Amino acid sequence: MLVKKAQASAEAGFTLIELMIVIAIIGILAAIAIPQYEQYIATSKATTITQDFHQAVTQATAAMAAAQAGQSTTVPTYSNLPTGWSLTVTSNGKNGAIDPTSTAVSITLTGTGSLVAPVASALSNMNMQGINGSSTQLCTTGCKATVDNNGGVLYANG
């Protein structure tokens, strides 16, 4: 009876080797998952930045059309960008306000840090890159778009 009780208590737990194997497996999975997660976060932030830039260009184009019709319009400010990034829309020296006398609207995206390469890649994927729309040079230090009063958009390296 005493032997059976001792065997039952010995079989109830995990051995040190079993625990070490489980910890090793978790470590291997974490070594694979954590860099993939960090890359996913960087790609997600870069996509958000480029989508905001594209949205600002689209809104500036619509605002220029409204300005040509004699309406005063505004373009929203973009203040929820990641740290180190800014997106400004200016017309006649005014930030965000577009009046009927505007001849062009400038949208400037600038940023630094680890998101520069993912943002340049995302801009390239959206075909919004290069000096004068050239596909050979990416907007690596930011990007600038100028919307003229005819609705034309000219992209340049920031």
**Looking at this protein, which amino acid is placed at residue 134?**
S
Residue entry with tokens 């829309």? 89
The domain in which residue 22 lies consists of: 2-157
- For residue range 88-101, list pLDDT tens digits in order: 888 876 776 776 67
Residue 129 three-state SS:
coil
Q: How far apart are CA 53 and CA 18, in angstroms?
A: 52
Query: Residue 102: is its pLDDT beyond 80?
Result: no
pTM to 2 decimal places: 0.73
Report pLDDT digits (tens) over 110-140.
888 888 888 888 877 776 644 444 444 556 5
Give DSSP secondary structure letters for 66-121: HHHTT--EE---B--SPTTEEEEEEETTEESEE-TT-SEEEEEEEE-STTHHHHHH
Residue 66: per-residue pLDDT:
81
* Number of folded domains that form the chain: 1
End-to-end CA distance of the chain: 83
pLDDT of 105 over the 60 cut:
yes
Tokens of 132: 């004068």
pLDDT in tens, 38-90: 999 988 988 888 888 888 888 888 888 887 787 777 777 777 888 888 888 88
